[in-house]
């Protein structure tokens, strides 16, 4: 019987260990033993979780303070480098943010150590980050720089945006994976498709929440009617439940509810911006005279003032676009135009209540970030109520095993989950890398065939050829 082959890897920006877990699973599938020879992480609660689950690991701190020559030799570099600088949930400063510059630590280590391969992961927003204004370029400047740097190191580089929902996770979580190998480009489109819905992972029969909002929701709707609903004062058709429909900020009349729904609809009309001489925004404050053009009532002014007092409406100047300097770059922001008459506007956005969204158990979860996991709830059909996700359910949503140890506060666990890599996607990408680029080392006893059914929803792999060539984009426009 053949001896298993051995792959050494390093785990940078390790978080709670999702990258390592996925890579080790891929090694096990392909006949390898995996050895993590170096781990770097600075977040204290991430270190606690990592060491609880990988007890023999020695974690090193700030990667910027570690010399490359002090890192043991390795075959594969893994790095889900900090994504807040490129994320829609962050401010998207990119390389202007110190977290964005951490990519260059990866470049430094690759240059010094020259491992055979690497797998990098980041948010989908990296693809178009820092595009030139009015540019038709496929990539933003940030990703172009990253790919160019990797290519200059001698790697054959490919990248692809992959969605966790196609890999057997009940969550839409799109991430860019960048894979490099010194000798060959890795085709990142040959994955078999696996689907799962929330019902497949939920632990029914759990204790449910009992607060004002949950009681109001269940008094006004059946459990099934709440599937997929969001609680927010924005447009969204039948998918949104507005605060005034539940009287969350105070009881109001049926006519006031009708008025709010009309303001929510009519405030988007572009004619208001033209009349005020400002750039259009999706939600313009409307004056009393403007509201009278679509709603008439003898007590209109009194109704509006009551809605302002109860914080369903705000009385504000319209905002126009101005250029400001931030971190050395020009940025467009909205600022109040105090020379224009004030108007009434919806107090919009996610409400600061215990529930922001009720997930549909027959579907999948949207991309979940740390702040969502406190206020996204699921219907518990056995307990006939609403509740937050259990830690085991959260593990399942991101591809971690049920027995994964999380001996930290739930809010800290939410922070880690909100920033983690989807484990099953790592397993699939790493399996493809190992079978493609390390095939000569794999034991030939009962080799597993590579399944080649491509996702219909995934673009073709994006290839970068020789270190001196221009980028070649092979995907659709």
Write out the DSSP string of 197-256.
Answer: -GGGT---S-----SHHHHHHHHHS-TGGGTT-EEBSS--GGGEE-HHHHTTTS---HHH
CB atoms under 10 Å from CB of 410, counted, come to 15
Can you read off the two tokens belonging to residue 409?
A: 């506060």
- Per-residue confidence (pLDDT) for residue 470, from 0 to 100: 30
3-state DSSP assignment of residue 178: strand
Kindly report, as residue ranges, where domains of CATH 3.40.50.150 are found in the chain. Answer: 5-196+401-464
- Per-residue confidence (pLDDT) for residue 419, from 0 to 100: 92
Residues 6 or more apart in contact with residue 301 via CB below 8 angstroms: 288
- Per-residue confidence (pLDDT) for residue 4, from 0 to 100: 58
- Per-residue confidence (pLDDT) for residue 137, from 0 to 100: 78
CB atoms under 10 Å from CB of 361, counted, come to 22
- Per-residue confidence (pLDDT) for residue 440, from 0 to 100: 61
Sort 444 into a burial class: Cβ within 10 Å, 0-12 / 13-18 / 19+: exposed
Can you read off the two tokens belonging to residue 298?
A: 């003898």
User: What CATH number has the domain spanning 5-196+401-464?
Assistant: 3.40.50.150
Number of helical (H) and strand (E) elements in the chain, helices listed first: 13, 17
pLDDT truncated to tens, each residue of the chain (477 aa)?
234 589 999 999 999 999 999 999 999 999 999 999 999 999 999 999 999 999 989 899 899 999 999 999 999 999 998 754 444 444 444 444 434 478 999 999 999 999 999 999 999 989 988 777 667 778 888 899 999 999 999 999 999 999 999 999 999 999 999 999 999 999 998 899 999 999 999 999 999 999 999 999 999 999 999 999 999 888 877 889 999 999 999 999 999 999 999 999 999 999 999 999 998 888 899 999 999 999 999 999 999 999 999 999 999 999 998 888 877 778 888 899 999 999 999 997 655 788 999 999 999 999 999 888 989 999 999 999 999 999 999 999 999 999 999 999 999 999 999 999 999 999 999 999 999 998 765 443 333 433 333 333 334 566 664 433 333 333 332
Angle in degrees, CA 369, 374, 377, rounded to 5: 100
pTM of the model: 0.83
Q: How far is CA 356 from CA 76, 232, 256, 371, 386, in A?
A: 40, 7, 23, 10, 12
Instruction: Tell me the CA end-to-end span of the chain in Å, nearest whole number.
Output: 49
| Candidates 83, 197, 208, 395; catalytic one | 83
Calculate helix-pair angle for 141-152, 103-113, nearest 10 degrees: 10
Q: Are 19 and 177 in contact (CB under 8 A)?
A: no
Whose CA is closest to 177, among 148, 157, 151? 157
- Per-residue confidence (pLDDT) for residue 134, from 0 to 100: 61
Quote the distance between the C-alpha of residue 41 and its chain's center: 20
DSSP 86-153: T-TTS---GGGSTTGGGHHHHHHHHHHH--SEEEEEEEGGGTTTTPPTT---SS-HHHHHHHHHHHHT
Pairing, β 319-326 against β 117-123: unpaired
Strand partners, 395: none
- Per-residue confidence (pLDDT) for residue 349, from 0 to 100: 60
Distance CA(154)–CA(40), nearest Å, equals 25
Can you read off the two tokens belonging to residue 109?
A: 């280590």
Distance CA(426)–CA(179), nearest Å, equals 11
**83 carries an active-site annotation:** yes
């Amino acid at each position: 019987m053949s001896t298993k082959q051995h792959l050494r890897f390093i785990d940078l920006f390790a978080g709670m260990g999702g990258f390592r877990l996925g890579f080790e699973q891929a090694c096990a599938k392909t006949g390898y033993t995996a050895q993590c020879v170096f781990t770097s992480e600075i977040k204290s609660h991430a270190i606690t979780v990592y060491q609880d689950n990988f007890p023999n690991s020695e974690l090193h701190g700030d990667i910027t303070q570690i010399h490359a020559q002090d890192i043991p030799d390795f075959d594969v570099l893994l790095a889900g480098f900090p994504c807040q600088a490129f994320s829609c949930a962050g401010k998207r400063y990119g390389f202007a943010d110190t977290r964005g510059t951490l990519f260059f630590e990866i470049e430094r280590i690759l240059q010094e150590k020259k491992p055979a391969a690497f797998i990098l992961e980041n948010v989908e927003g990296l693809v178009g980050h820092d595009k030139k204004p009015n540019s038709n370029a496929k990539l933003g400047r940030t990703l172009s720089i990253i790919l160019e740097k990797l290519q200059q190191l001698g790697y054959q580089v490919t990248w692809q945006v992959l969605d966790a929902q196609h890999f057997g996770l009940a969550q839409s979580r799109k991430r860019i994976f960048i894979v490099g190998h010194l000798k060959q480009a890795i085709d990142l489109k040959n994955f078999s498709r696996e689907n799962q819905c929330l019902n497949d992972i939920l632990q029914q029969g759990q204790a449910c929440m009992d607060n004002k909002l949950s009681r109001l929701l269940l008094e006004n709707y059946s459990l099934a009617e709440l599937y997929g609903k969001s609680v927010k004062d924005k447009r969204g058709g039948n998918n949104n439940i507005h605060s005034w429909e539940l009287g969350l900020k105070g009881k109001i009349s049926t006519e006031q509810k009708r008025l709010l729904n009309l303001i929510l609809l009519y405030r988007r009309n572009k004619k208001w911006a033209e009349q005020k001489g400002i750039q259009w925004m999706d939600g313009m404050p409307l004056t009393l005279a403007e509201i009278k053009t679509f709603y008439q009532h003898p007590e209109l002014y009194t109704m509006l003032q009551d809605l302002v007092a109860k914080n369903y409406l705000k009385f504000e100047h319209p905002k126009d676009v101005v250029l400001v300097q931030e971190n050395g770059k020009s940025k467009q922001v909205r600022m109040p135009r105090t020379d224009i008459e004030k108007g009434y506007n919806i107090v919009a956005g996610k409400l600061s209540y215990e529930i922001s969204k009720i997930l549909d158990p027959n579907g999948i979860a949207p991309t979940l970030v740390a702040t969502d996991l406190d206020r996204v709830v699921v219907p518990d059909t056995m307990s006939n109520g609403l509740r937050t996700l259990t830690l085991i359910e959260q593990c399942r949503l991101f591809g971690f095993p049920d027995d994964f140890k999380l001996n930290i506060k739930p809010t800290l666990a939410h922070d880690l989950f909100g920033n983690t890599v989807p484990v099953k996607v790592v397993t699939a990408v790493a399996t493809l890398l190992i079978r493609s680029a390390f095939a000569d080392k794999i034991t030939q006893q009962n080799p597993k065939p590579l399944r080649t059914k491509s996702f219909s929803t995934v673009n073709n792999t994006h290839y970068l050829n020789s270190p001196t060539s221009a980028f070649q984009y092979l995907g659709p426009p």
